[in-house]
Structure 1
């Protein structure tokens, strides 16, 4: 496992982050989750990502139990705030009230007294931005959070937040958690250039494009049983999230990558991870898993160096099918 600095900070994160978005509290039981976390630690993964809304808090609870007994200073813990955590009118968004209440609930579920990174899970168009960044800064100054960041904010939203932070001498955003893969590249035109100038490192999710880039989905064929494409019972709708990519033209293009992976003696998943990590603004790529074997295999995606020729070859195959429109960086209203 290789490690990179998170943005311009002095803190290092593992190139592969263990995430539990649709696994803990949903797809796998607590015992299986604990085994996956142990496999992650054994593989050198030190960065763990979750959110207050994942499985309505159960994901944080499971992760907290799985990390119990592990030296706190030996890993980096990330959680996020924004999406609904209850039925109340204030159980969502980025108001000072919700940030403080949900944050402290997260600490209890995660069985810790501090977070390494607290992330705004989306941009809140209803709450004054000054209120949000002020609340985040207070948590940092109280010693309860080391760093703060955002997720899926567009370039203008990030720029506005940084301006308020600089004006008031608040702690700055140091990371953006964005969807990014060889097929989903909406951050490249605006967010990445801004982030590089401002010292913000990307921690990216869905680097395998929901599993499409593993090559297990074939054009003209039904999705494999027990795959994400058939996971209609997931609390977040795994099947719905991936459905837009299960087009024959996309799947046929992905199939063309197999000879490249074979020549490099790596898996398709490792090839996709290596492509994402070839972007110098990416600090880490989030991977989920339902078995220890998957965790160990994903961890091997770290440290693979692709030549410019290979990257060019991959881009030539996938670019015609890739999503690149920066306007796709949108934050739905959590109260809608």
Structure 2
């Protein structure tokens, strides 16, 4: 695996990030250890988790695995925001909750510091100054090395960046958004902000919950049993069959399979590699449940789709847009002389 700088920072991370969301849930501790060992053996150094994943079990498993490892060889990322208890201050991005959460995450991870500490989502109830000021204090105290955001909207991300600059605080170094061939609205505002401000993009759900894994084909009437999409349909998750069983999805999959066959790769490897070619992207997060899935996803690295193949996938997956994202508005911004 190659290494890339995370945005404009000097931090170098592997071009694939291992997501630990399933650890302690679908994936046993022993299997999680084996997956992390194999990921590092393949050249990976970047592992992402969150305090809320299985109520801390994911962090605990990563922490147990870290024992005996050379800590500075690894980049460990975790997150804070969502509820970790029933108390009134066990949720959100207040100073109190962040301070309690960082101490709990450090304890579960068994480490003195966290490389990347991310706010898991926007908090409507807490002043942004309180959140960013607290994160800045934690960086100054040495508890965390870098800070990032996840699941922000464009205006929220830009506001946070500008506020940090104004107060000379530590600023976000990366954004973790959902981004894949079936989720491209990320490109409307978030990617331009990241490129302009120098944030690394570490996309989650690069296979859209399995839709881009190669298990789904035009003509299916129901999702295959045992897949995440089948589970999503039962539980109302975002990657449900009802949401994506449409012509846009099947057109994207048709082209994805054609490009994958040309490249001699699997559809999953091709979908992840497409992300690796996109502006601002540092490392897609591969959230695997099994060793088989990891081995497959590792095959997304160390090669590149051709420019023509990227353009074909871009074209078939493009979302319909209106003002202010359409071609006319783009032309107005680029060349004012053409305005009529």
- Assess same fold via TM > 0.5: yes
Tell me, yes or no, if the aligned pair for 1:217 and 1:251 is still in contact at 8 Å: no
CA distance in structure 2 between the aligned counterparts of 1:167 and 1:260, rounded to whole angstroms? 46
Shift in CA distance, 89/3, structure 1 to aligned 2, threshold 3 Å = same
One of 242, 245, 260 as aligned partner of 2:239: 242
Give the match's secondary structure for 2:208. coil
Shift in CA distance, 119/51, structure 1 to aligned 2, threshold 3 Å = same
Aligned twin of 2:111: 112
CA distance in structure 2 between the aligned counterparts of 1:69 and 1:250, rounded to whole angstroms? 48
Aligned twin of 2:162: 163
Say how many residue pairs are matched: 321
Aligned twin of 2:67: 68
CA distance in structure 2 between the aligned counterparts of 1:262 and 1:58, rounded to whole angstroms? 39
Aligned twin of 1:16: 16
Deviation at 1:293, TM superposition (A): 2.5
Mean Cα deviation higher: 105-114 or 218-227: 218-227
Structure 1 residue runs of 4+, over 3 Å off?
Answer: 230-234
CA distance in structure 1 between the aligned counterparts of 2:153 and 2:258, rounded to whole angstroms? 36
For 1:224-272, what per-residue CA distance to the aligned partner results, in whole angstroms no more than 9, with x for missing partners?
33221233699xx5x7232154404245220332121111111101110
Aligned twin of 1:252: 250
Deviation at 1:43, TM superposition (A): 1.3
Higher relative contact order (CA 8 A, sep 6+): 1
For 1:280-335, what per-residue CA distance to the aligned partner results, in whole angstroms no more than 9, with x for missing partners?
3001100111222321221121232122211111122222589xx99xxxxxxxxx
Deviation at 1:191, TM superposition (A): 1.4
Shift in CA distance, 242/299, structure 1 to aligned 2, threshold 3 Å = same
Deviation at 1:168, TM superposition (A): 1.7
Tell me, yes or no, if the aligned pair for 1:204 and 1:282 is still in contact at 8 Å: yes
CA distance in structure 1 between the aligned counterparts of 2:296 and 2:7, rounded to whole angstroms? 26
5+ residue gaps, structure 1: 327-336
Shift in CA distance, 320/202, structure 1 to aligned 2, threshold 3 Å = closer
* Structure possessing the higher radius of gyration over alpha carbons: 2
For 1:79-119, what per-residue CA distance to the aligned partner results, in whole angstroms no more than 9, with x for missing partners?
00001111111111100000010111011111111000000
CA distance in structure 1 between the aligned counterparts of 2:76 and 2:18, rounded to whole angstroms? 10
Aligned twin of 1:333: none
5+ residue gaps, structure 2: 326-340
Aligned twin of 2:98: 99
Shift in CA distance, 28/211, structure 1 to aligned 2, threshold 3 Å = same
Mean Cα deviation higher: 114-123 or 242-251: 242-251
Give the match's secondary structure for 1:126. coil
Aligned twin of 2:229: 229
CA distance in structure 1 between the aligned counterparts of 2:44 and 2:232, rounded to whole angstroms? 29
TM-score by length of 1: 0.90
CA distance in structure 1 between the aligned counterparts of 2:87 and 2:56, rounded to whole angstroms? 15
